Amino acid sequence: PEIEHHQIVVVGAGPAGAIAAAILKRKGHEVLILERQRFPRFSIGESLLSHCLDFVEEAGMIDAVRAAGFQTKHGAAFAWGERYTDFDFRETFTKSFGSTFQVQRANFDKVLADEAERQGVTIRYEEEIVAVDFSGAQPLLSVRRLADGHEYQVSCTFVLDASGYGRLLPRLLDLELPSNLPMRKALFTHIEDRIDHPDFDREKILITTHPTLRDVWFWTIPFSNGRCSLGVVGLAERFDDYPEDKDAALKQFVAETPSLTKVLGNAVWDTPVGEIKGYSANVKTLHGKGFALLGNAAEFLDPVFSSGVTIAMRSASMAANLLHRQLSGEQVDWEQDFAIPLKRGVDTFRVYVEGWYDGSFQDVIYYPNASPEIRAMISSILAGYAWDERNPYVAEPRRRLRVLAELCASA
Ligand code: FAD
């Protein structure tokens, strides 16, 4: 059978795939993206952090994203009972993009993919990679065209796996590791929100802690078209005490949470409620001979700080730049130059995710009298700058969080 050859194959045209492909194309490499779905397609993960715009800019897509009419986002607000606090991304320790966007991912991912194509990346939609062979001199991929079932093979110099929850190479190469985070579940929908609450800030994500179940929280992510994404997250077993019907369960969680019912009192629920669970995942390695794992195809922590797309794009940028060096003839070290530095920031997020669920970081967030300097350092992390080690809360997250949480708890 005929074998096509391409220089770089990227699996998946989500944010990780589109950004990596465009960066490589801009550096003069030939890139083919294989994407099994037809775009636009729904994806979860709609609230972006400021830091991800650094990579949108690097990939030459910032004008297109700005022109797309998405909801501007300036920060994150948190509510728990009577407590309310917010962090402004224009007041961060790390100076960069002060604001970002809240996006319908169907549209956003299509803008990125179209921009990659415009820059010369080839994207084949509705083509799925079904098998891989890394035993030869070059990676060999088996591709199925979904329209007619036709299968063909592609060889290439390097594969970037940006398959997201598809986790192509972790599954096929036996790289999967269970996450050390417990199994959580999310119920989510889109609503016509009709929010008229004077204090509600459409330019921030609202994270609401359930009044009595402190590990249960909601996201309210306003879009620019009068609609919101709404979701609830909790330990999977929590949901056993709630109706089996997903719509009824989400409504009951909301009804138990007065500060949120106040905001959503006029909302029109017009979209079936979806469910995703067991999304946290890990891998044994982020790279191997002829491949690297990007975004959610590698590790996924937790949705609470909206770090998913930022980590996906950061990994895409790092891998693309390193691969460029490798293809230019340099000797590169994927562990030293990709995996370790990428994981450092991911591990910073992990400390704050764990602190959210054990309550210590919530104590810090809801503490009313924090100093502006400390708030700017925390805000920086919430804006995605988890790799800036000049920030003490990035350099020493575990110790700093512990000390701060003790201070807040004893105050
Ligand atoms: P994806 O966007 O999933 O793209 C992967 C693509 O690969 C898909 O289009 C898929 O069709 C394609 N593909 C898969 N397998 C194959 C194959 N075999 N062949 C060809 N193509 C294939 N992140 C945020 O930043 N902000 C949030 O507010 C946020 N909220 C979240 C809420 C929840 C409940 C969860 C679970 C996650 C949330 N996330 C959030 C995380 C976010 O969803 C992901 O981190 C992000 O979508 C990862 O992007 P990606 O490019 O790695 O993968």
- Specify the residue with its C-alpha closest to ligand 1, atom 38: 45
Instruction: Tell me how far the alpha carbon of residue 108 lies from the centroid of ligand 1, in angstroms.
Output: 12
Please spell the DSSP secondary structure of 35-62, one letter per residue.
ESSPSS---S--BPPTHHHHHHHHTT-H
CB 176 within 8 A of CB 158: no
pLDDT at 410: 85
Cα distance between residue 384 and residue 317, in whole Å: 15
Pairing mode of beta strands 291-293, 75-80: unpaired
Would you give per-residue pLDDT tens digits along the chain (411 residues)?
689 999 999 999 999 999 999 999 999 999 999 999 999 999 999 999 999 999 999 999 999 999 999 999 999 999 999 999 999 999 999 998 999 999 999 999 999 999 999 999 999 999 999 999 999 999 999 999 999 999 999 999 999 999 999 999 999 999 999 999 999 999 999 999 999 988 899 999 999 999 999 999 999 999 999 999 999 999 999 999 999 999 999 999 999 999 999 999 999 999 999 999 999 999 999 999 999 999 999 999 999 999 999 999 999 999 999 999 999 999 999 999 999 999 999 999 999 999 999 999 999 999 988 899 999 999 999 999 999 999 999 999 999 999 999 999 887
Q: Does 336 lie in the same domain as 300?
A: yes
Strand residue runs (E) in 74-226: 75-80, 83-88, 100-102, 122-125, 127-133, 140-145, 151-161, 176-178, 184-192, 204-209, 217-222
Spatial distance between the Cα atoms of 177 and 283, rounded to a whole number of angstroms: 5
Paired with 341 in beta bridges are none
Q: How far is CA 43 from CA 37, 108, 110, in A?
A: 11, 10, 11
388 within domain boundaries: no
Closest ligand 1 atom to residue 294 Cα is 52
Same domain for 66 and 141? yes
pLDDT for position 1: 67
Query: Which segments of 223-270 are extended strands (E)?
Result: 227-235, 268-269
Q: Are residues 246 and 312 in the same domain?
A: no
Is the same domain home to 31 and 156?
yes
State whether 42 and 139 are in the same domain.
yes
Q: How far is the CA of 154 from the centre of ligand 1 (A)?
A: 24
Our CA angle for 174, 311, 16, nearest 5°, is: 70
Same domain, 111 and 37: yes
- The domain boundary residue, chosen from 227, 250, 277: 277
Cα distance between residue 226 and residue 174, in whole Å: 44
What CATH number should be reported for the domain holding residue 166?
Answer: 3.50.50.60
pLDDT at 181: 93
Residues 247 and 341 in one domain: no
Q: Please check whether residues 132 and 270 belong to one and the same domain.
A: no
* Residue 335, domain extent: 3-71+101-178+280-345
Domain shared by 10 and 156, yes or no: yes
Among 112, 163, 216, the mutation site with the greatest number of ligand 1 atoms within 8 A of its Cβ is 163
43 CA to middle of ligand 1, Å? 6
Query: CB neighbours (10 Å) of residue 176?
Result: 13
Q: Whose CA is nearest to atom 2 of ligand 1?
A: 14
Query: Are 170 and 64 contained in the same domain?
Result: yes
Say if 355 falls within a structural domain.
no
| Residue 36 belongs to some domain of the structure | yes
Rg, the chain, Cα only: 21
Go through 289-313 and write b for each residue having 16 or more CB atoms within 10 A of its CB, e for each that does not: ebbbbbbbbbbbbbbbbbbbbbbbb
Q: Are strands 176-178 and 281-283 parallel, antiparallel or unpaired?
A: antiparallel
Give the residue, by CA position, lying nearest to ligand 1 atom 19: 128
Work out how many domains the chain is built from and give that number.
2
- Whether 380 is covered by a domain: the verdict is no
Question: Distance from the CA of 405 to the center of ligand 1, in angstroms?
Answer: 32
Residue 20 Cα to ligand 1 midpoint, Å, equals 14
Is residue 207 one of the residues assigned to a domain?
yes
The answer to whether residues 316 and 55 touch, using CB atoms and an 8 Å cutoff, is yes
Q: Which of 256, 277, 298 is the last residue of a domain?
A: 277
User: Which of the listed residues 296, 319, 345 is the one where a domain comes to its end?
Assistant: 345
What is the domain-level CATH number for residue 252?
Answer: 3.30.9.100
Encoded tokens for 342: 């990428």
| Interval between CA 404 and ligand 1 midpoint (Å) | 33
φ, ψ of residue 205 to 5 degrees: the values are -75, 140
**Do residues 106 and 139 share a domain?**
yes
Query: Considering the domain boundaries, does residue 374 fall inside one?
Result: no
Is 314 contained in some domain? yes
Kindly state whether residues 174 and 248 are assigned to the same domain: no
In this prediction, the answer to ipTM > 0.95 reads: yes
Atom 4 of ligand 1, residue of closest alpha carbon: 14
